[in-house]
Structure 1
Amino acid sequence: MGKHVQQQAAARQIERILRRSGGLSTLPEVAAELLTLLAEAPCDTSRMAAVIQTDSALSALILSLASRERIAFTDGRATIAEAVACLPREALREAILSAKVFPTLNWTAESESRRLLPRRQLALHSLATACCAELLAQFVLPPEQRPAAYLAGLLHDLGKPALDEIMPKSFERLIQQARDTGRELYEIEQDQLGLDHAMLGKRLAEKWQLPASIVSSIWLHHIDAHTLAALEPEPLLPAVIALADRIARKAALGQSGSYNEPEDLHEWVEFLKLTSDQMQHVQDELPLSVTRQCQMLQRSPQEGSHAYITAVQHTAVGLARDNQLLNEASHQFAALNDQNALIGGFLDEISAYSSPVEVAEHFAAFWQKHYLCGTTAVAVLGEAKDVPEMPIEMAVVGRDGKTAVVSVQPPPEQSVIPETLKQPFDIAPVCGTADWLLEPIQADLNPAQMRIAPLAVQDKTAGLLLFELMEPNEFDRRRCETACRIAAFTMAMALNTQKHDDLSDRFVRMLGTLRRTRTELAKTQSMQGLAEMAAGAAHELNNPLAVISGRAQLLMAAEEDETKKQMLRQIQQRTEEIAQIISDLMSFAKPSPPEKRRVALGELIQKAVEKTCTQHQLNSLEIEAVVDEEESIYVDVHQVTEALSQIFSNALQAYPGQNGPIRIESEPQAADNTVRLIICDRGCGMDPETLQKATEPFFSHCPAGRRRGMGLAHARRLLLLNEGSLRLESRPDEGTTVFVGLPKV
């Protein structure tokens, strides 16, 4: 199975877990504060709203609850304060009590500090982004849209805590990779998972029916300004969130999981037409605004954990009494349900953002309850009708009412839709028709009693219904057909929405790729211009230089005055140096096409060491090598030897008059089938400005006339020709580390 199919499988698994999630975890100090407020009579709703607004998980929970309760907000603009004021007291209390709380019993400041991305630091980054968005909105957004800026900023990283909770070890590795490589976290997520936290946050926000403007801000806060302007008809709020996120990261308020410096901050400032005075105001006010929000919580993390446990103990008796009342109400409600109520309940559970599998889950539960069936399942066909290797997802409701989502691979060279179901609506036994659909179902069932029916509308089958007869009922096929058509129509709409979302995500990624390609193309065109200039310079200068050198040699042979002979000798030497400069320039701008072959890593390094020793007239280099010498590399040996030699020569510049030490380590990179060499020196290092320009042609930090500045530039050029890579890390007085990527066989 290809990488694309694996990424799709990983993405489906993540979203499957997210569907099981009742929400994200809040911090114990926030939960303790709210439980204390709930116990008061009367409840201070304004303070409760202020506390909720410090936490992204609870803010999303309250907005979702307000959407389900169909709260009509003033001017149609959702706010936490109005939601808390309008929601029924019991609904609000139930929502807060049911919220998950970040680990409380085993929490310590030391355990929190050991995490690469502490949850409280991530929460602080979200809070800082919200405060920054609120400040920026005063200058950019019309008054009626400004309240949404704070909420959008608070919720913009909704996908990160979700990833942290459903796959903590994998998320920790993604954070580690972001810190090691200096790349954006969302880029690494896309490479490893096939989707990123912005897309997951969008899915969660849609599932919880959050306002569309907040959904767009969550989804689009990582793209560039030009793409946003082309993609979003109302780009101001997403642009405010994008800029607020970058300002919060630059101000180091909390941690976001990305360790590189935001490079496009100025671009967003220009897009929003902010003045320098306005930006200075935002930067001055931001720390104060964050401090004010944090002061809403009157407990430290340690105190909050103890206070939360105490508050839960105080509400235990009340919850038991409420639970008894709820059980009695549940039995009464179950007795009053009939077919119309169940159909209405099914449709009420479906929203414009429901996925096909969620539609299948609700319909399977509806069918089982209405017809008193045993194990019931709904298979979502989707692309599996046209792509043979694509697995089918199936929602299963067991006899005990527990739901599960499983995947099943259709048999090769067999139609996904049984022939008997391609006729007008029919219900047929599963055995002998589609036995393979029963294989992944783990729930108890009697295969002989299983029946299958199509979920089709206008001759297009969107899914298959499987159900277990518990007694020999006579089905009203006409009534069953109506229910199945309702489900098929709803599922077809969900499939179309999912396809549209996938295309939108791919379009956004394609635009980002196009921008990077455009930048690389500009560099390539610049390099071609340099090649043409070098070729012209060589043609125009080599002949005159040859004449000058030849005449100087003739004059020197005939000259007897030693002073004049020395002057002529200098002329000849300088012409040779100029010729070498032209040769270096041509070698950089128009190198020969690589002639690749298999070579052992140890042999490649040894050749580079010998070449460096020859160039610097050294007997040996002080090398500390920890590498797999037998690892096979597929490169042009001459070109990569030259590149490594240039890197070693650059390292020697950090040790005037010495031959090292230079440390070399190797690490296999399974993700892209490469080997990474880590080459370190402990010399003088480079400041940020020098580091940024170190691989540019003709740049040298040495005094004028000492070096031509082509070493690292030439090395990078040769490595790129061989599908390799070069990246530098350095700090003054701490040395330099060069990361070299080489393709394996």
Structure 2
Amino acid sequence: MRFQTGRKPPGEPLIGRLNGLARLPVRPRTARVVMASLASVPADGDDEAAPGGIPRMLPDLDPGWLVAERAKGRGGVLRALADSPWWPASLAAGPAAEAVQKLWRHAVAASFACRTLAREHGDPDPAGLVRAGLLHGLGRWALAAVDPECLARWMAEPDRDARRRREAIELGGDLRDVGRRLAERWGCEPLVVDAAWLHGEDDADLIAAAREPARLALVREAVRWAESTPWALDAPEGREAMPTEPRLRILVAEVQSRCGTAFASDDASPHEERATRENARLRLQLVDLARENATQRRLIEAIADSEPDETPEGWSVRAGRAWCGEPEVNAARVVWRGPSTTEPDPGPGLPIEASPDADDAEAPRRGASWTIPLEAAGGVAGEVQLWLDADVDALRERLGPTRIVDAWKAWASHVADRALLERRLRAAVEGSREASRSERRRVQAAKLDALAEFAAGAGHELNNPLAVIVGRAQLLMAQAATPEAARSLAIILSQAQRTHRILRDLMFVARPSEPRPRLCRPADVLQACLAEFQAECAARGIRLTGEFEEAGQQLWTDPEGLRHVAEVLIRNAIQAGAGPAAGGGTIRVRADRQGRELRVRVADSGKGVGDAEAAHLFDPFFCGRQAGRGLGLGLSRAARFVERAGGSLTWDSTPGQGSVFQVKLPWNRPPEEPAAKSA
């Protein structure tokens, strides 16, 4: 609001002009000192960074500057300079100037007294108490700004009752109430608002209505000190002009030394005021342009540093750091809603958070000052949460024309859509692989079913002739007349029995029988298995060893199945090439218990498993040896037993250096054991 102090627009009531006052003018000397302190700051720099700061004592003696600082908002002291009018040079002399000068010294005396009382009573905010003392007469200052001649007439009245009557006639109200309304509208702190209308002697009964009664009592005491000085506004007639109390005499001397000059400057011209305020506005625009440039630079750098395969979580961390670079932002966080793939979650769920720094991993306790939604795939995929130390509307106003927020939203949408496509691609690839695995399992199951049907038919059709062959061969062997005939019959008997074992193995691989667990010692089962192979290994030059930890422990499992698995793995190690051709060779069998598992490890120093063999290692009828040396059912049988027992069979091999097969079986307790314990 632009106005000329001291001029009364025709036809406009005084109370209306008071209530519509935009702000108090500032002293020209204050504006000059502040502007000089900013001279060394670059035009596009931060005005709060002036070397050495602004000399505080002079602005602290200016009620208009204190009000402007409290409501400065965006722009710091530059905004206060640009928006605040000056007290005119017409107040440098005359009755109105004398009234303003007396009002000023009275306010300064109250503020100095507040400083002393704050020190004596240990007030937590001495500066706030000093401001309340200087601005306690805010209604009078408003009257001086709107109509200084009216203030002079008001101060010329002989007593308080006469002043109240003049206020009722000219204002239709009370100056203290005017001060309260203006303090509230100008955003003054609560203590200033209370001091503006509860500082009088007749307000003692209303002090309980204050938000800080104890501190307001100190302000009222400071006002009483000011009323004991030569600049008292309500002094009774006949009172001594100079107080005799020592601390009041010190107060008077301090006010005289700090307020020795005129409140207004007789050399301040409207041209200087306009030039200073326009200078502040231009500097403020440069500051805004510099901040806009820095904001855009942070966004460009963030985009330039992004990787093609950047995840939403990584983007969130960098976005949070970029937003924290804004001068108004104290903390920032990006929250993706729904799955980490950023696909919008139709239902409730926990947010996925990414903080800018490790120290910010915990979200601030208070709610975000500004939340920016991030849209993707037709819905809200997340949001940027900002915690500010400034007015949210001011930041929105600054960023609005730059479309920075729109750029961040578009980039977030791109990141979210890309992550969604990546997730869908992974799902499609995994689905294809799972379908392939399912097809292989289906084909394998079909093979085993066909094998089971063949084995069942072959067993039914061949077992009876084989039984006849075995029986007749045994009968003829008992009646053999020559050793040659006995050897021939033994071969017939051996091959018939081999045919029977082949049929049995086929039936086991295709349709294995249920395990028959019982309590046994795994070490005993494996020791017996090793004993059967010692002679064969010695003949082949193979060193067969066994290591068994906790040999006395018992396990609830199928001992025949465990023995069969060990036989298959040892036989496989013998036939894998460990022997004289390999320089002697070794086979090590180790069994131990780890947690709730029995682990059996068979390691050999043979030729290892090649790539061609690895793909079919557990397939039935696959054999890595030459034809006629076996059907390749051993590892298939072992794998089927381990699978039926709830364990796993794994292997590792290096061609030319040997292989390691490891069996893991669950270490189960007998079913009767829990019942026995409970009994």
TM over 0.5: no
TM-score by length of 1: 0.39
TM-score (norm 2): 0.42
